[in-house]
Chain A
Amino acid sequence: GPKVLQIPSHQIIDMGQMVTLNCDPVSNHLYFYWYKQILGQQMEFLVNFYNGKVMEKSKLFKDQFSVERPDGSYFTLKIQPTALEDSAVYFCASSFLNYEQYFGPGTRLTVL
């Protein structure tokens, strides 16, 4: 079936640095999402994105977070600066218009 890819699979970074998580969505999909899962907790919605704009964001989507998809390439989540509480697995998803979101395998972010 359709695949969503995420790069890198694991990122270790010092607190205060900037990090960019990359997502390669399914090619004809129009909606893009990021979810966050802290170890031992539920996966939680961060943001969704359509037509170059953020449609909705949760309270977890802090001011230090930003998303973009320049020129139809990777859909990225940037955190600047990072904090210890940003350590989690971040999942990207994409969908067309049929409610089904396709998920990537996740990027494990460790902030030291």
Chain B
Amino acid sequence: GDSVTQTEGPVTVSESESLIINCTYSATSIAYPNLFWYVRYPGEGLQLLLKVITAGQKGSSRGFEATYNKETTSFHLQKASVQESDSAVYYCALGDGATGGNNKLTFGQGTVLSVIP
């Protein structure tokens, strides 16, 4: 079946250091995978951080970026310089682009990120 695997947390990084959270996917039943990063800040609901629906493209938001690599089936999340406010749980997710709006998502297990000031 379809699956997503991401960096096992928790991840602890000092402020202004770089960050990478790995994400790999397996899309056995999906012809056109869409890839997403969601984030849950403390006390808040899950919110979309960035999305990429075309292989080879890069998405970016709030200083984070991720490139959809079809060859390596990866969608790693990177940031050059993290801030304390980036402390949150990050989820990589896989969707089926062929189904349009009824796009059920397959989630990774989530990676807890703590940024130390």
Q: Which residues from chain A sit less than 8 Å from chain B, CB to CB?
A: 1, 4, 30-31, 33, 35, 41-45, 48, 50, 55-56, 58, 91, 95-106
Contact = CB atoms under 8 A, between A and B. Distances in A.
A80 to B, nearest CB: 24
B51 A104 contact: no
B78 to A, nearest CB: 21
B117 interface: no
Contacts of A102: 47-48
Interface stretch (B14-22, B64-72, B103-111): B103-111
Nearest to A57: B104
19 contacts: A35-B105, A35-B107, A42-B4, A43-B107, A45-B104, A45-B106, A50-B101, A56-B104, A95-B101, A95-B103, A96-B101, A97-B100, A99-B51, A99-B97, A99-B101, A99-B103, A101-B105, A103-B38, A104-B45
B53 interface: yes
A41 B109 contact: yes
Contacts, number: 60
B103 A43 contact: no
B87 interface: no
A64 B91 CA distance: 29
A30 B107 contact: no
Given A50-B102, A55-B102, A95-B101, A100 B48 contact: yes
A42 B101 contact: no
Interface in B1-38: 4, 34, 38
B80 interface: no
A67 B55 CA distance: 35
A27 to B, nearest CB: 16
Contacts of B47: 1, 102-103
Most buried by B among A35, A99, A106: A99
Contacts of A104: 45
